[in-house]
């Protein structure tokens, strides 16, 4: 079970802007630890963002997305109090889902 994300969603007239901070090391598998051993690859591969049950963004990532990833985008519609739900799944099968209410 991954660490909590920070999800913010704000409606501004016709569109809702979503900002997501995820807690993840995004290890490439090419870095070495202090003993000189390779640190195994560990990175988010799939991201899905839903608004009221409907997908508003999906993404596939490789290890070249920065550690503790940040993502923002906008979708049309959305109203205060409705829910935005974010799920990620990494290459080791770990996943995390967090929600935020649209402000």
Partner 1 sequence: MRRIVAAALGLGVACGALGGDQSASEAIAQYRQMLEDGNPAELMELRGEELWTTPRGPRNVTLEQCDLGLGPGVVEGAYARLPRYFADTDRVQDVESRLLTCMTTLQGFAYEDATRAWYKAGSDLEALVTFIATRSKGQPIDTPVKHAKEVEALAVGADFFYRRSGPLDFACATCHSQDDRRIRLQELPNFENPASARTSMTVWPAYRVSQSAVWTMERRLIDCIRQMRYPEPELGSDAIIALQVYLQHQARGGVMQGPGIKR
Partner 2 sequence: MVRREFLLRGSGLLAALVAAGWLSPEAAAQEWNRAAFEAKSIKEALEALGAKDASAGADIVITAPEIAENGAVVPITVASRIAGTESIALLADKNPSALSGVFTFPVGTLPEVHTRVKLAETSNVHVLVRAGGKFAFATKEIKVTLGGCGG
Name the binder of 84 from partner 2, partner 1, none, CB < 5-8 A by kind.
none
In angstroms, the CA 32 to CA 35 distance is 8
Mention every residue, 6+ apart, whose C-beta is less than 8 A from residue 24. 2, 3, 42, 43, 44, 67, 68, 69, 88, 90
Contact residues toward partner 2 (CB under 8 A) are: 15, 26, 28, 30, 45-46, 48, 50, 53-67, 69-77, 85, 87, 89, 91, 93, 95, 97
Q: Which residues bind partner 1 (CB under 8 A)?
A: 3-6, 19, 21, 23, 25, 66-68, 70, 72
């Amino acid at each position: 079970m991954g660490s909590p994300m920070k999800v913010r969603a704000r409606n501004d007239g016709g569109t809702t802007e979503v900002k997501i901070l995820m807690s993840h090391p995004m290890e490439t598998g090419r870095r070495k630890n202090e003993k000189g051993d390779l640190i195994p690859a560990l990175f988010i591969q799939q991201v899905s963002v839903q608004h009221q049950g409907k997908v508003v963004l999906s993404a596939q990532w490789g290890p070249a997305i920065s550690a503790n990833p940040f993502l923002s985008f906008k979708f049309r519609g959305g109203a205060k109090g409705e829910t935005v739900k974010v799920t990620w799944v990494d290459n080791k099968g770990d996943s995390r889902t967090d929600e935020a209410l649209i402000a």
